[in-house]
Chain A
Amino acid sequence: MEVLSNLAGGFVTCLTPYNILMAVLGAFLGTMVGILPGLGPSATMAIILPITFGMDPIPAMIMLTSLYMGAMYGGSTTSILVNVPGEASSVCTAIEGYQLARQGKAGTALGLSAIGSFFAGIFGMFALAFTASTLAEFSLKFGPAEVFCLVLMGMFTIIYVGGKDITKSLMSMVIGLGFGCVGTDMVEGKARFTYGVSELLDGIDFVILVMGTFGIAEVLESAEEFMKIEPMKVKLRELMPSFAEVWQCRWAILRGTLVGFCICVIPGSGPTIASFLSYGLEQTVSKHPEKFGTGVLEGVAGPESSNNAAVCGAFVPMFALGIPGSGATAVLLGGLILYGLKPGPLLFVEHPQFVWAVIASMFMGNVILIIMNLPMVPLFASLLRIPYSLVYPAILVICIVGAYAVASGLFEVGLMLVFAVCGYFMKKGGVPAAPMLMALIMGPMMEKNLYQALNLAHGNIFVFVQRPISATLLGIIVVMSIIAGSKRVKKARRGVEEEEE
């Protein structure tokens, strides 16, 4: 009951004209980003983040959350109409959705994906409210030793669950930890890796890293070729699926929602894995699995519900434990720090108004998105006719503005470009940038808690195994490492990788 009353308070806070406007803006931008191939939600949030510096945390976070959800909604449009997934999590939608579009059922596929996404978003919001608050209450018992082990576990989970190549993901994480060392050390106040550059004394700002490695690197990759997209035409009256079609997909929507939420509570899993699992599940439970790939409604409804529920699931570790579950939530977590909030379990105690308003805004965001996505799909689809050659210079200009806004200096812009070069070649070499970003955010947190834990224990390094919670967390890390290192898992991982190719 307490959760429901907190949620009601959240609705009171978020339902102001300004917050609603921010949610509409975020949903619009997110849908556009989802529709236009070449820029993911993480990159867009990173680009938008510096622009929100001057805003209050609540409207800023409402805008970013709506943007994230909008990208999931919008990703299906391009998948269905052009067979080009706007987001990685829409790949499964493209398989069935495009076939449906070729059969003249584009409107049905788009409508079903919007309805499934709406249901998943609303369910996910309630599940997030109950799960995150319970988990946060438990994690209030954590001291520095537990937090250190938790951060360590979070990083390992992200790599073992989400990374394609574990070695390269681990290397990316360690390099991120190295970036986290840049700046003034917290023990003796000495400058590390700064070489007399005063701009580096405060460390590397994560916005610079994320805009370089995610934002500009993604733009560069998309700008390699002249992109020309011709979407299929959809009429407004075709956009509502029949009641029989929705009823036919009811279990697929429910299954997708549950899979998406539960999977994404685990840090590192992300909407892409959730949608692939949901697609696989639909194929397994179907009476006609052989029809998959030819345009099956459940193959659209399941994965689309799944990737929307996944957005809410990824917020659980972020709000309750202060651990980002994905690249996108890492950006949001960085945003919390920039707004002067301290992520972690204390967020529910110190800033309840903020947390509950953001959770409640997800309901509002979903309502806005279904209104926007059902009747406005033809309009959004027409955006695909804007040549990418006109879009990417604008994105680059916004990146320059964003980097400049971080510290009002051109040094940061230059640093962002250096990271962009690194990010581009990392992409080409199959090295994920997300672990590096997460390590940059969590590295200083890890170092601080290690320092505090050892200080409190008078240098006793066994403090981590003597305390039950931290010992359990370390045990989980060991078990995860053994499982991830086993030959069977390695073989399965390689198989999935090749299938994705």
Chain B
Amino acid sequence: MRKADRIFAVIGLGLALWSYLESRKFRYVTEFTPGPGFFPFWVGLILALLSAYLLYDSYRREPSKQDEKKILPEQHALVRVAAILAMLFVATFVMKFLGFPLTLAVFTTAILFILEHYSIFKSIAYGIAYAAVTWFIFEYMMTMGFPKGFLGI
């Protein structure tokens, strides 16, 4: 956990610097009230102080049970998480071209076949079923206006 704290502290310092730099683009105060730069300035300053404290504390404190805990899961679990995220990003990217129902069908099939080791036929069947139910509820009944792909759906 100490390592995680240090990483989080460094990210916090980076975000603090970003907020401070953004605040400099705007006025800090107007005649009576805070200006647009007021809040980002204080967000940056407080975040920097807290991050610095977290960093200092991670070196100073006695190691606890929490500190001995591993932050990330085993490699195979991390690969699963990364794969799910990658598929989600790809699905978002290709939705414009494939259209909503087809993307969902392919996405679900891919997860079930690649990650969960279902047979290809079962994966496709579940993929089509999920996409059809979602499309029926949200597009047909609720007319949410999802992106249409090259198939026109």
- Tell me whether A405 and B144 are in contact in the complex, defined as CB-CB below 8 angstroms, given that A174-B43, A400-B91, A455-B33 are known contacts: yes
* Contact call A224/B130, Cβ cutoff below 8 A: no
* Contact call B33/A187, Cβ cutoff below 8 A: yes
A223 interfacial contact with B, CB 8 Å: yes
Which residues of the other chain, B, contact A171 by a CB distance below 8 angstroms? Answer: 8, 12, 47, 50-51, 54
- Tell me whether A429 and B35 are in contact in the complex, defined as CB-CB below 8 angstroms, given that A167-B50, A167-B54, A181-B40 are known contacts: no
Q: How far is the CB of A50 from chain B (nearest CB, A)?
A: 9
Cβ 8 A contact of A224, one of B12, B81, B95, B111: B81
Per DSSP, chain B at the interface is helix
- Tell me whether A192 and B22 are in contact in the complex, defined as CB-CB below 8 angstroms, given that A175-B15, A178-B43, A400-B91 are known contacts: yes
Q: How far is the CA of A180 from the CA of B43 in the complex (A)?
A: 10
The total number of A-B Cβ pairs within 8 Å is 165
Q: How far is the CA of A168 from the CA of B46 in the complex (A)?
A: 12
Q: How far is the CA of A177 from the CA of B45 in the complex (A)?
A: 12
- Tell me whether A181 and B39 are in contact in the complex, defined as CB-CB below 8 angstroms, given that A54-B142, A167-B57, A220-B81 are known contacts: yes
What mask results when residues 129 to 151 of chain B are scored 1 for a CB within 8 Å of chain A, else 0? 01100100010001011110000
- Tell me whether A190 and B26 are in contact in the complex, defined as CB-CB below 8 angstroms, given that A224-B80, A408-B144, A501-B65 are known contacts: yes
What mask results when residues 107 to 122 of chain B are scored 1 for a CB within 8 Å of chain A, else 0? 1100110011010000
* Contact call A430/B12, Cβ cutoff below 8 A: no
* Contact call B50/A170, Cβ cutoff below 8 A: yes
Q: How far is the CA of A469 from the CA of B143 in the complex (A)?
A: 49
B153 interfacial contact with A, CB 8 Å: no
* Contact call B33/A454, Cβ cutoff below 8 A: yes
Which residues of the other chain, A, contact B32 by a CB distance below 8 angstroms? Answer: 454-455, 457-459
Which residues of the other chain, B, contact A398 by a CB distance below 8 angstroms? Answer: 134
Which residues of the other chain, B, contact A420 by a CB distance below 8 angstroms? Answer: 85, 88
Q: How far is the CA of A431 from the CA of B126 in the complex (A)?
A: 36
Which residues of the other chain, A, contact B47 by a CB distance below 8 angstroms? Answer: 171, 174-175, 178
* Contact call A389/B89, Cβ cutoff below 8 A: no
Q: How far is the CB of B26 from chain A (nearest CB, A)?
A: 6
Which residues of the other chain, A, contact B26 by a CB distance below 8 angstroms? Answer: 185, 188, 190, 192
8 Å CB contacts to B: which residues of A134-193? 167-168, 170-171, 174-175, 177-178, 180-181, 185, 187-188, 190, 192-193
Which residues of the other chain, A, contact B71 by a CB distance below 8 angstroms? Answer: 428-429
Cβ 8 A contact of A396, one of B8, B19, B69, B84: B84
* Contact call A393/B130, Cβ cutoff below 8 A: yes
Interface residues on B, range: 35 or more
* Contact call A397/B43, Cβ cutoff below 8 A: no
* Contact call B88/A396, Cβ cutoff below 8 A: yes
A202 interfacial contact with B, CB 8 Å: no
Which residues of the other chain, B, contact A240 by a CB distance below 8 angstroms? Answer: none
Stretch at the interface among A17-25, A356-364, A410-418: A410-418
Which residues of the other chain, B, contact A417 by a CB distance below 8 angstroms? Answer: 85, 88-89, 92
* Contact call A178/B81, Cβ cutoff below 8 A: no
* Contact call A223/B84, Cβ cutoff below 8 A: yes
* Contact call A429/B8, Cβ cutoff below 8 A: yes
B128 interfacial contact with A, CB 8 Å: no
Interface centre among A397, A405, A457 (most CB of B within 10 A): A397
Which residues of the other chain, B, contact A348 by a CB distance below 8 angstroms? Answer: none
Residue of A nearest to B145 (CB): A408
Q: How far is the CA of A322 from the CA of B1 in the complex (A)?
A: 35
Residue of B nearest to A191 (CB): B36
Q: How far is the CB of A224 from chain B (nearest CB, A)?
A: 4
A interface size (C-beta, 8 A):
60
* Contact call B8/A177, Cβ cutoff below 8 A: no
Which residues of the other chain, B, contact A454 by a CB distance below 8 angstroms? Answer: 32-34
Which residues of the other chain, B, contact A224 by a CB distance below 8 angstroms? Answer: 73, 77-78, 80-81
Q: How far is the CB of B19 from chain A (nearest CB, A)?
A: 5
Cβ 8 A contact of A401, one of B30, B34, B84, B134: B134
Q: How far is the CA of A269 from the CA of B90 in the complex (A)?
A: 39
* Contact call B4/A394, Cβ cutoff below 8 A: no
Residue of A nearest to B30 (CB): A187
What mask results when residues 420 to 458 of chain A are scored 1 for a CB within 8 Å of chain B, else 0? 110010001111000000000001000100110011011
* Contact call A428/B72, Cβ cutoff below 8 A: yes
* Contact call A451/B33, Cβ cutoff below 8 A: yes
A230 interfacial contact with B, CB 8 Å: no
Q: How far is the CB of B88 from chain A (nearest CB, A)?
A: 5
* Contact call B36/A185, Cβ cutoff below 8 A: yes
Residue of B nearest to A399 (CB): B88
Residues of B within 8 A of A (CB): 1, 4-5, 7-8, 12, 15, 19, 22, 26-27, 30-36, 39-40, 43, 46-47, 50-51, 53-54, 57, 64-66, 69, 71-73, 77-78, 80-81, 84-85, 88-89, 91-92, 95-96, 104, 107-108, 111-112, 115-116, 118, 126, 130-131, 134, 138, 142, 144-147
Task: Identify the 9 closest CB pairs spanning chains A and B, nearest first.
Answer: A429-B4, A224-B77, A459-B32, A185-B36, A389-B116, A178-B43, A174-B47, A393-B108, A413-B92
Given A188-B35, A192-B22, A397-B107, 5 new contacts (CB under 8 A): A397-B131, A428-B71, A430-B1, A451-B33, A451-B34
What are 20 A-B contacts with C-beta separation under 8 Å? A54-B142, A167-B50, A174-B46, A178-B43, A178-B47, A192-B22, A192-B26, A192-B40, A223-B81, A224-B77, A224-B78, A393-B130, A397-B104, A414-B89, A428-B4, A428-B73, A429-B5, A430-B66, A494-B64, A497-B66
